[in-house]
Structure 1
Amino acid sequence: MQVPAQFDYERATGVRHAIALLTRYGPESRLVAGGHSLIPMMKLRIANPETLIDINDLDELTGISITDGALRIGAMVRHAELLDSPLAVEHFPILVDAERVIADPVVRNRGTIGGSLCQADPSEDLSAAFTALHAVAVIEGESGRREVPAREFHTGPYQTVVGDAEILVEVRVPIRTGSGSAYEKVERRVGDWAVAAGGAALWLDGDTVGEVGIGLTAVGAAHFCAPQAEDFLRGGPATEERFAEAGRIAAEHVRPTADQRGPEDYKRHLAGELTTRALRRAAARARGSEA
C-alpha cells in the first residue's frame, strides 16, 4: 500500500492567510485544492511536503466572469465549471475543447484550473490552451499582485514562476473581436495524458490573420508555444495552404521525447498535423461556420 510521508496540515481562510502560512512554513509547504496531482505524487514519495495548506475555503479564488474586457477565471474554478461555462463557450471554445479531454468526471469535478497550471506537467492540456490564447496569470504574494504572461509562467517541467510564498489567484484572457479557437488531442485512451496535442487561436481581420497563438503539449515545445509558426502566419491570408505550412514549421521546432506513448518521429508528425487541424477549426469558428 502506497502512503504519503508524515506531514502537518493547515486550512487557509483567505488568500492573505494562505500566503502567511506559506511564509511561516517555508519552501517545504505545499498548497492543496483538488489534490489529483499532488496526492498521487505524495503516495509515490515523489513529493514529500512537510506541510499541506488546504485552500478549498478560498471563495475569493472562484468564479468565471468578464472583467475589464477579459475573461477572468479564478484559480479555484473546477474543471467541470469551466467545461460548462457559457462565457467560455462564447468567447474561447478552445477551453471547452481542452476540458472535454482532460481526465474523467471524477477528476474534473474536483481538480482546479490553478492546480493544473501550477503542476506544470509537460503533457498538461490547459497550459497549451492558455498559451495559444495569450492569457495572463495573476500571482499574489506578500508584496502584492503581479501579472505574468502564460508564455512565461512555466520555467521547465514541473516548475513555474510562482514563488515559495506566492499563490496563483486567477487567469485572464483578453477578449478581442474576430476570434476563433480550437484544441486537438491524440491520446491512447479517453482521459489519458496526451501523446500530443495542439491548440490554436486566431484573430481575423477579414481573411487576414491579425494575431495568432499556437499552443503545443507533450512534444517538447518550449513554453508550450510555437512562435516560428505564429510569425509565419501573422499578417498573411488565413488559407489551408498556410495552415499546413505553419504545421510543418511547428513540427520542425518541437523536441519530443520517445516514451511509452510513442517514438519521436510519430510525436513530431502529430505536432504538425494537430497544429494544422486546430488552425483550420479556429478559422472556421472565427468566420462563424463552425460552433
Structure 2
Amino acid sequence: MKPAPFHYHAPGTEGEALALLAELAPEEGRILAGGQSLIPAMALRVARPAHLVDIGNVPGFDRLTSEDGILRIRPCVRHAALGTGTVPGPLGALLETMRGHVAHLPIRTRGTFCGSLANADPASEWCLLAATLGSSMLLRSVRGGREVAGEAFFQGFMTTALAPDEMLVEVRLPLLAETVRTGFFEFSRRSGDFAQAAALAVVELRHGAIVAPRLGLGAVEDRPRRLPEAEMMLEGRAPSAALFREAAAAARAGLLPMDEDSYRLDLAETAIRRALSAATGVPE
C-alpha cells in the first residue's frame, strides 16, 4: 500500500515549526523527524495525517550536548549518535549497550531518540531509559514551554503528556557518576524484534551494599516505569542471587501486564534478575 494524500511542510526554524504545528494540529498535522514509526504506519494507512511538518533541517535540532551534569538531546538526534563516542562516563556506556537493541541498523541510522519517546511504545528501550533515570522533557508550543518529568510523560499505551500542538524539543538525562553501575537485559523473539520484557538496573555499591538503586521495567505494562517495591527491598543490602529473586518476585506482584499470559510475568522476573546481575557482577 501507499500513504494517503498529505501536505508536506519543511520549516527552517523552530519558530516556524511551532507555528505550523499550531495551525495544522487541528487538521491532523504531525511532526516528522526520523519517520521510522510514522512512515510505515502511513504506508499501511494505520496513520493518515493530512499534514507532515518535517523538522529534519531545522538548525540545532541535531545537537547533543553534555554540560552541568546533564545530557541534552534535541529532537533530531539519531539513535546511532548515542554511545561512548559522544556521551561521557557510565551513561555513554549504557547508551551504547541499549542502542544495540533498538530495531535494526537502518532504523538506528535514521530514527531519533526524541521521536521514540514521543511515539511511546512500551517496548521502546529509550522510553525505559527515560522513565528509569529521572529524565525531564522540554515541551514547547506557540503558547510557551513546560518541563515534564520522564515518569509523568508516559501516560499509557503509546500515549504521552504532549498536547497536539506541542513538540518535544529536548530530553534531559542526568550524567551518571563514575561510581554508578548499570545493567540492561531484554527478551525478544529475534534480534531487532520488539521486546517482550526489558529491565534496567542502575546502582551504586558502597561498603558491599547497594545504594540508591533505580530499577525500571518496560514492554510488560502499558508504559515503562520504575519498580519502587523492588528498589526498597534492594536499598542497603548486599547483592546476592537470593536478593535478586526476592526483588523480582516483589516487582512481579505489583505488575499489571498488557495481556493475561503469565509467560510475560515470568519474562519480567527473569529480566529483572539478569539486569541486577549485570549491574552488580553477581551471578543470578
TM-score under structure 1 length normalisation: 0.88
Paired position in structure 2 for 1:268: 265
Paired position in structure 1 for 2:17: 18
How far apart are residue 221 of structure 1 and its match? 6.0
How far apart are residue 256 of structure 1 and its match? 2.5
How far apart are residue 141 of structure 1 and its match? 2.0
Return the alpha-carbon distance in structure 2 between the equivalents of residues 72 and 233 of structure 1. Answer: 30
Return the alpha-carbon distance in structure 2 between the equivalents of residues 141 and 208 of structure 1. Answer: 45
Return the alpha-carbon distance in structure 2 between the equivalents of residues 232 and 16 of structure 1. Answer: 47
The equivalences for 1:59-74 within 5 A come to 59-74=59-74
The equivalences for 1:60-209 within 5 A come to 60-83=60-83, 85-87=85-87, 90-177=90-177, 178-209=179-210
Paired position in structure 2 for 1:55: 55
Amino acid at match of 1:111: G
Q: Is the alpha carbon distance of 1:213 and 1:227 closer, same or farther for their aligned partners in structure 2, counting shifts above 3 Å?
A: same
Percent identical residues: 33
- Pick which of 204-213 and 190-199 moved more: 204-213
Amino acid at match of 2:70: A
Q: Which sections of structure 2, spanning at least 5 residues, go unmatched?
A: none
Q: Secondary structure at the match of 2:82?
A: helix
Q: Secondary structure at the match of 1:170?
A: strand
Contact 1:131 1:213 in 2 (8 A): no
Q: Is the alpha carbon distance of 1:201 and 1:98 closer, same or farther for their aligned partners in structure 2, counting shifts above 3 Å?
A: same
Amino acid at match of 2:8: Y
Paired position in structure 2 for 1:279: 276
CA RMSD of aligned residues (A): 2.1
Contact 2:90 2:181 in 1 (8 A): no
Return the alpha-carbon distance in structure 2 between the equivalents of residues 92 and 236 of structure 1. Answer: 27
Q: Secondary structure at the match of 1:61?
A: coil
- Pick which of 18-27 and 236-245 moved more: 236-245
Return the alpha-carbon distance in structure 1 between the equivalents of residues 132 and 182 of structure 2. Answer: 8
- Pick which of 244-253 and 148-157 moved more: 244-253
Return the alpha-carbon distance in structure 2 between the equivalents of residues 249 and 205 of structure 1. Answer: 24
Return the alpha-carbon distance in structure 1 between the equivalents of residues 131 and 174 of structure 2. Answer: 12
Return the alpha-carbon distance in structure 2 between the equivalents of residues 277 and 188 of structure 1. Answer: 17
Contact 2:89 2:176 in 1 (8 A): no
Q: Secondary structure at the match of 1:24?
A: helix
Give the count of matched residue pairs: 280
How far apart are residue 103 of structure 1 and its match? 1.0
Q: Which has the higher helix share?
A: 1
Contact 1:94 1:129 in 2 (8 A): no
Return the alpha-carbon distance in structure 1 between the equivalents of residues 173 and 61 of structure 2. Answer: 16
Q: Is the alpha carbon distance of 1:155 and 1:221 closer, same or farther for their aligned partners in structure 2, counting shifts above 3 Å?
A: closer
Q: Is the alpha carbon distance of 1:24 and 1:281 closer, same or farther for their aligned partners in structure 2, counting shifts above 3 Å?
A: same
Q: Secondary structure at the match of 1:36?
A: coil
Amino acid at match of 1:167: M
Q: Which sections of structure 1, spanning at least 5 residues, go unmatched?
A: none
Q: Secondary structure at the match of 1:6?
A: coil
Contact 1:132 1:212 in 2 (8 A): no
Return the alpha-carbon distance in structure 1 between the equivalents of residues 204 and 139 of structure 2. Answer: 27
The equivalences for 1:216-235 within 5 A come to 216-220=217-221, 222-235=223-236
- CA offset digits 1:14-68 (Å, max 9, x no partner): 2221111111112411001111100111122221111100010123222322122
Q: Secondary structure at the match of 2:184?
A: strand
Q: Secondary structure at the match of 1:47?
A: coil
Q: Is the alpha carbon distance of 1:89 and 1:99 closer, same or farther for their aligned partners in structure 2, counting shifts above 3 Å?
A: farther
